[in-house]
A and B are shown apart, each in its own frame.
Chain A
């Protein structure tokens, strides 16, 4: 069904039920076009990944002995086959989504062909939580797993919105300590402890 233009003056002349239907159609069209844009990016990303793997990573990281005549013996054969598969499938997703977006654009000129026009919901908590993984990893390298985990659990609880200060302190101290003791004494895993090495292992 053809999508009607959503011009206000045009709609105001129509009965409320009709206006409601036009609103729903607009939302659905936006949803379809937004999904198509997202899939174009996904397809493009996979085509890029496949191409980089096939033409850069495979030649640079896999040495194929010269005396190999049987295709099955080549260590590069399988990664190359998968890369080609990724490129083909990525191209299919890309083309399919582009056709879908073009179809939406033809239905309603308000639908932009700009593929980067996607709904952006910025979440500072989410971005901070992802970004904090990096310092967590590096502090583990330098100060051991226990100290960094105490700090990490405290910060992550704060970002998650925990306000009970007693719960914050108790949880961040007790949980990593118990876990460390379990892994060292029950599972026999050598947990890196950094400056606490002497204190915990004695």
Chain B
């Protein structure tokens, strides 16, 4: 164990890794602060820059962006009443009123402390649980892995949108796209149509950039994302230790909520922030101050959304299953560097796992210093004109897509997926299931076919062990609860619309 930690530390403590992590945090904080630029978009744009890096700095760069983005979103929420990222929309409820009362710095510093706190708690859970879960998953064969991926897909597809059917259609399209290329079992081509570039399949990076960055750029031309708000000026009053002590309970509660919701695939940071906020309000001595400028409200939502960051990495590292879009991108980054997250990684690349663990803990400290130093600068950045920013992002998308394989064909794929993404956004079809299914598709198909070969064509192999039954039951429960939830939501909406 100690030897593994030492090896991990040796892998982490070098100029490349620390610089990559710090750069990632800075990029994440800055991009997260700009309204209309989501953390997913930031990770998508940064991914091509990791190709030239060794695996540890590459993964840490992306995780840095993720951590930074979660905090960055709160800056515009507090200063201009526009959340930089969806998960920061809860911070806005109390952050902006605080800024209006001349306590903008108070709110920003509380958001930073709560973010770092939630992040550290989440990292501790990651370190404690990932190895245990991985050792449990070591005994999984093809049938168990197939049922696990089915469970992940149902939960992701069902929570991504307000309609389960549209989420599942989106996931099905992702699965179909994943079949393009050469079939791994008998080596024949599928949907290639004599296009040489398609023989190796569709690359993840152009699909990712096309789906999550390009529609955000195009949206400003369709009349969205146009922010021209004037930020509230920062005061000189810093937060006191007593302020932090007064919300300590809320910080712990919010972080635990974030961790709990983060482990469950598909839920993500936004529900965690809102649940943490409502629990804080329910348990507060002064619930009436919530919504009018409560520091406790800011602390609750930020601890909740940051508590998710480390926890979403648990299913990714231990089982190889991405819990949300960002971890799907991180999974892609692992694959690009020839690594497959999952239980075997804890056996074959344990030094790398420890290097990542050390990196994410230090990343929380870097986030604290970067966040503190960046507060005055970010105040100006949040009001940057989208007419300057988004055309530059478009060019970044083109360069990033090209850099994957030095291929203009990938640029064409990115443009196509961008238009598909835009159509999906307009049609209110969730994009996340498409990407996650695209990433998980090969895993699902290969395990299905391997299991069928093992069972000599007999489907009963998928019900052969207790683990497969556990996953089938979880899948059924997840589907039932989503159908029930959607039915109730729809009924309530209809009732509301006629009353």
Residue from B179, B412, B497 within 8 A of A31 (CB atoms)? B497
Residue from B172, B193, B391, B456 within 8 A of A89 (CB atoms)? B172
Are A89 and B165 within 8 A (Cβ)? yes
Residue from B193, B218, B386 within 8 A of A61 (CB atoms)? B193
* B168 contact set on A, CB distance < 8 A: 89
Tell whether B338 is near chain A: CB-to-CB under 8 Å. Answer: no
Are B395 and A152 within 8 A (Cβ)? yes
* B406 contact set on A, CB distance < 8 A: 189-190
Are B408 and A140 within 8 A (Cβ)? yes
Are B387 and A126 within 8 A (Cβ)? no
* A191 contact set on B, CB distance < 8 A: 399, 402
Given contacts A71-B452, A153-B394, A153-B395, contact A82 B387 (CB under 8 A): no
> What range describes how many residues of B lie at the interface?
35 or more
Residue from B49, B193, B394, B429 within 8 A of A152 (CB atoms)? B394
Are A32 and B169 within 8 A (Cβ)? no
Tell whether B370 is near chain A: CB-to-CB under 8 Å. Answer: no
- Chain B stretch 30-64: residues in CB contact (< 8 A) with chain A: 49, 51-52
* A190 contact set on B, CB distance < 8 A: 406
B165-177 interface bits toward A, Cβ cutoff 8 Å, 1 = contact, 0 = none: 1101100110110
In the complex, A57 Cα to B390 Cα: how many Å?
37
Given contacts A78-B448, A187-B49, contact A71 B392 (CB under 8 A): no
Min CB–CB distance A197 → chain B (angstroms): 15
In the complex, A23 Cα to B427 Cα: how many Å?
26
- Nearest neighbor of A171 in chain B, beta-carbon distance: B388
Tell whether B398 is near chain A: CB-to-CB under 8 Å. Answer: yes
- Chain B stretch 163-191: residues in CB contact (< 8 A) with chain A: 165-166, 168-169, 172-173, 175-176, 179, 183, 185-186, 188-191
* A156 contact set on B, CB distance < 8 A: 390-391, 394
Residue from A57, A76, A86, A159 within 8 A of B172 (CB atoms)? A86
A3-30 interface bits toward B, Cβ cutoff 8 Å, 1 = contact, 0 = none: 0000000000000000000000100100
B424-461 interface bits toward A, Cβ cutoff 8 Å, 1 = contact, 0 = none: 00011100000000000000010011111100110000
Are A1 and B498 within 8 A (Cβ)? yes
- Nearest neighbor of A136 in chain B, beta-carbon distance: B398
Tell whether A165 is near chain B: CB-to-CB under 8 Å. Answer: no
- Chain B stretch 399-424: residues in CB contact (< 8 A) with chain A: 399, 402-403, 406, 408, 411-412, 415, 418-419, 422
Given contacts A73-B449, A175-B392, contact A123 B221 (CB under 8 A): yes
Are B388 and A162 within 8 A (Cβ)? yes
Are A71 and B457 within 8 A (Cβ)? yes
Tell whether B223 is near chain A: CB-to-CB under 8 Å. Answer: yes
Are B398 and A145 within 8 A (Cβ)? yes
In the complex, A200 Cα to B218 Cα: how many Å?
31
Give the interface SS of chain A, mostly helix, strand, loop or mixed. Answer: helix
Tell whether B385 is near chain A: CB-to-CB under 8 Å. Answer: yes
In the complex, A62 Cα to B172 Cα: how many Å?
19
* A162 contact set on B, CB distance < 8 A: 385, 387-388
Tell whether B192 is near chain A: CB-to-CB under 8 Å. Answer: yes
* A63 contact set on B, CB distance < 8 A: 188-189
Are B220 and A72 within 8 A (Cβ)? no
Tell whether A137 is near chain B: CB-to-CB under 8 Å. Answer: yes
A64-90 interface bits toward B, Cβ cutoff 8 Å, 1 = contact, 0 = none: 110010111101111100110110011
Are A75 and B188 within 8 A (Cβ)? yes
Residue from A64, A75, A128, A133 within 8 A of B185 (CB atoms)? A75
In the complex, A195 Cα to B268 Cα: how many Å?
47
* A1 contact set on B, CB distance < 8 A: 498-499
Tell whether A186 is near chain B: CB-to-CB under 8 Å. Answer: yes
Tell whether B396 is near chain A: CB-to-CB under 8 Å. Answer: yes
In the complex, A62 Cα to B445 Cα: how many Å?
16
* A171 contact set on B, CB distance < 8 A: 388, 391-392
Q: Write the residues of chain A forming the contact surface with B, with a CB cutoff of 8 angstroms.
A: 1, 25, 28, 31-32, 38-39, 42, 46, 49, 53, 57, 60-65, 68, 70-73, 75-79, 82-83, 85-86, 89-90, 92-93, 96, 123, 125-126, 128-130, 133, 136-137, 140-141, 145, 149, 152-153, 156-157, 159-162, 167, 171, 175-176, 179-180, 183, 186-192
Q: Write the residues of chain B forming the contact surface with A, with a CB cutoff of 8 angstroms.
A: 49, 51-52, 165-166, 168-169, 172-173, 175-176, 179, 183, 185-186, 188-193, 217-218, 220-223, 385-388, 390-392, 394-396, 398-399, 402-403, 406, 408, 411-412, 415, 418-419, 422, 427-429, 445, 448-453, 456-457, 494, 497-499
